[in-house]
Amino acid sequence: MVLSPILYDDSQTQSPAPIPAQPPMPAGVQIIEISWDRDARWMRAIIGSQKWHFKELLGRAQIIGTDNARGRIHARAMARVEGETFILYRAPDAVPHPKIEGIERLDSHQRLCYRRSHRDWRVRDERRPEMPDALMLGIAGYLGDFVAEKEAVDPIAHLYHNGPIIVEEGTRIAHLYDLGL
């Protein structure tokens, strides 16, 4: 018997092709949808009906929720695209996310990614992979203060939060915190 791996036609490996020129982003605070573009094979940001692609993500924003059926993160921030880098700026009127009770994850380099087969999310501590709870599956969504990072050299559709996370036990929502606030 020969076993073959399951191959998906929607690879989550980033395309090495250069991203074509893109229009400027709208000024001011926006609601931004962030997700993996399975056709273009780059990360994308959608504001209204317009979209922009990026290979690198830096900055700060408020995460105001997720769309689990479609694998989308909703952020509130100001933004701009500089080449293949998407830069987020925290809204001037944003208040720090309130502290909640739950499973505390240390300040670290936390990988955030969507599990399409389960229509949920996961969190993985990339600096301490040997910890028993380094990988948490079944996360119901993200909220809070996102300290965003995705390096262009990372060829996979991952986003990272540089800060602590508290997973609310009853809801399984991962609350993100920015120690710089």
pLDDT digits (tens, 9 = 90+) for 30-69: 999 999 998 999 999 999 999 999 999 999 999 999 999 9
Amino acid at 84: E
Q: What letter does residue 55 receive in the DSSP assignment?
A: S
Residue among 81, 66, 77 nearest 24 (CA) = 81
d(Cα 57, Cα 22) in Å, to the nearest integer? Answer: 16
Q: What letter does residue 156 receive in the DSSP assignment?
A: B
pLDDT digits (tens, 9 = 90+) for 74-122: 999 999 999 999 999 999 999 999 999 999 999 999 999 998 889 999 9
Residue 55 φ then ψ, to 5°: -110, -20
Residues 6+ apart with CB under 8 A from 154: 14
d(Cα 168, Cα 103) in Å, to the nearest integer? Answer: 7
Tell me which residue has tokens 């996310």.
97
- 102 dihedral zone (left: phi>0; alpha: psi -120 to 50; beta): left
pLDDT digits (tens, 9 = 90+) for 128-144: 888 888 999 999 999 99
